[in-house]
Amino acid sequence: MNTIALQIENISKSFPGMLAVDNVSLEVRAGEVHALMGENGAGKSTLMKTLSGSFDDYTGVIRIGGKAVELHSPAMAIANGIGMVYQELSLARPVSIAENLFAGQLPVNKFGLIDRKAMLKNARRALAYVSLDIDPLKTIEEISQHEAQLVEIAKVLAKKPCILILDEPTSSLSREEVRRLFEIVRDLRNRGLAIVYISHHLPEVFEIADRVTVLRDGRRVGTHNIHEITPGSLVKMMVGQSINEFYEHREANLGKVALSVNHLTRHGFFHDVSFQLREGEILGVVGLCGAGRSEMARSLCGLDPIHDGEVSLFDEELSPDNYPDAVSKGLVYLSEDRKVDGLFLRLPVSRNLVAAVLPDHSRAGIYSSRNDASLTQRYLDELGIVAASSETDVGTLSGGNQQKVLLGKCLATQPRVLILDEPSRGVDVKAKQRIHETVIALADRGAAILLISSDLPELVGLSDRTVIMRNGRLTGEMAKEELSEESALLAANGQGTIHNG
């Protein structure tokens, strides 16, 4: 039996008006991966943030190596060997990878100046540890989101923690990257680190975890050896009921061509992309991370430039590089990264939900907050957004609930064409089902939907048809009958039979 590295005893933490963590006790052993699961807002991140020194007002006792410790600041947590990779990335975007890695503790030479050579050497070593081969002088803005995720992990590991907390580390990683991350995690476990792993992804948890603890409404429901439970019973522990992850077969009722993309090119990202999307259709884009799916989507709707080709919405050409034009014509894009271009974290939920529709709601220049209230309530209900009130700042919602607000914000514009980029990232099983129902209902009402998702069951379950994207090019398409998780994966990797579309 491994020694106990971390003991959490009767920890509680409240925010104004709510008890986020309610008297939780938990032990994590050295040399184990301990998964922490639970619905959005269950208190997972909050419990772990008490360990990383984010709060000075928690109650209860935390023991590390048997000794009671006070963790009232990030520095205290680091000094006690706790390293946490946060759910929302915390890197400074305009700054280089190297400086991010060693923020606050850059190596200095004998003149007291930053020793750039040592910094680069240390940075390369830290990056090699997470198998990342990129120039440490690049800024975070210049690298992809999954690279940024690995930099974040490298940054925490550079402080040599003995307890490592990973809060949904794989939400922006491809399968291959998840596999590599798991190798790193297993290696760290074998070296005796105690690892807490937060995830909504059941297959991942069954693959990597030794034990799992479930939280619900801030309380601990139970802890089990992973071999003692099934995915079904785990879901039941999380949501208090069984969930049917079955996708109903639906017959798409296709209408006019809603979106027509012709020879779209952005050098270095994607080339000569052409496809059409009809009203009532859900078109999935199969592809690996880095295939260019998000880049294509962003350029398509005018968030990023294009070099060649054009996009039409109901036969009307969109002006390139002009997202507001696209929105005014009925297209909306749900971003892959809610923190960077999705939400106003310091504004309340209600303002975020109506942010995209303000012109419509301010009749004759008078801003009507009554309309907002009913609209806000509608999305709170429809998407099951859990917030203390509609006036709570979005930044204080749990990660999954932020994602739901983002979707609500897109829906509030009543788009005719909707591009969904990883719509259920970070949301729990129940919320995911709600989101899927909403997407299907939209399509049934005639909206045209382009779906980018690395969640294969989701992509396969929702798509009426898929196009395959590889290395920046569309390489073929698959009809619903041909689509399975296996065929999608093979196609994304450039294998299997593909019909050229």
Q: List residues binding ligand ATP (CB under 6 A).
A: 15, 18, 20, 38, 40-46, 87, 386, 396-401, 428
Q: Please state the closest distance from residue 18 (CB atom) to Mg ion, in A.
A: 15
Q: Please state the closest distance from residue 54 (CB atom) to ligand ATP, in A.
A: 9
Identity of the residue numbered 224: H
Q: Please state the closest distance from residue 40 (CB atom) to Mg ion, in A.
A: 7
Nearer to ligand ATP, 392 or 487 (CB): 392
Q: Please state the closest distance from residue 48 (CB atom) to Mg ion, in A.
A: 8
Nearer to ligand ATP, 55 or 323 (CB): 55
Tell me the torsion sign for CA atoms 168, 171, 175, 176.
negative
Strand order through the sheet with 33-37: 82-85, 163-167, 194-198, 33-37, 211-216, 219-225
Nearer to ligand ATP, 38 or 280 (CB): 38
Q: Is 149 exposed, middle or buried (0-12, 13-18, 19+ CB in 10 A)?
A: buried
By DSSP bridging, strand 211-216 and strand 219-225 are antiparallel
| Tokens found for residue 287 | 């592809």
Spatial distance between the Cα atoms of 450 and 455, rounded to a whole number of angstroms: 15
Q: Please state the closest distance from residue 38 (CB atom) to ligand ATP, in A.
A: 5
Identity of the residue numbered 14: S
172 contact choice in ligand ATP, Mg ion, none (CB below 5 to 8 Å, kind-dependent): none
If phi > 0 it is left, if psi is from -120 to 50 it is alpha, else beta; for residue 472 that is left
Nearer to ligand ATP, 15 or 129 (CB): 15
**Cα dist from 196 to 11, 29, 36, whole Å:** 16, 10, 7
20 contact choice in ligand ATP, Mg ion, none (CB below 5 to 8 Å, kind-dependent): ligand ATP
If phi > 0 it is left, if psi is from -120 to 50 it is alpha, else beta; for residue 479 that is beta
| Tokens found for residue 389 | 């009130």
78 contact choice in Mg ion, ligand ATP, none (CB below 5 to 8 Å, kind-dependent): none
Q: Which DSSP state fits 219?
A: E
Distance in angstroms between the alpha carbons of the first and the last residue of the chain: 57
Query: What 3-state class would DSSP assign to 264?
Result: strand
122 contact choice in ligand ATP, Mg ion, none (CB below 5 to 8 Å, kind-dependent): none
38 contact choice in Mg ion, ligand ATP, none (CB below 5 to 8 Å, kind-dependent): ligand ATP
Spatial distance between the Cα atoms of 76 and 384, rounded to a whole number of angstroms: 37
46 contact choice in Mg ion, ligand ATP, none (CB below 5 to 8 Å, kind-dependent): ligand ATP
199 contact choice in Mg ion, ligand ATP, none (CB below 5 to 8 Å, kind-dependent): none
Nearer to Mg ion, 427 or 443 (CB): 427
Q: Please state the closest distance from residue 234 (CB atom) to ligand ATP, in A.
A: 15
Nearer to ligand ATP, 46 or 376 (CB): 46
What string of DSSP letters covers 425-467?
TT--HHHHHHHHHHHHHHHHTT-EEEEE-S-HHHHHHH-SEEE
Q: Please state the closest distance from residue 82 (CB atom) to ligand ATP, in A.
A: 17
Q: Which residues bind Mg ion (CB under 5 A)?
A: 45, 87, 398-399
Nearer to Mg ion, 428 or 477 (CB): 428
Residue whose beta carbon is closest to Mg ion = 45
Nearer to ligand ATP, 296 or 435 (CB): 435
Q: Please state the closest distance from residue 443 (CB atom) to Mg ion, in A.
A: 30
Nearer to ligand ATP, 396 or 454 (CB): 396
Q: Please state the closest distance from residue 195 (CB atom) to ligand ATP, in A.
A: 17
15 contact choice in ligand ATP, Mg ion, none (CB below 5 to 8 Å, kind-dependent): ligand ATP
Spatial distance between the Cα atoms of 216 and 191, rounded to a whole number of angstroms: 31
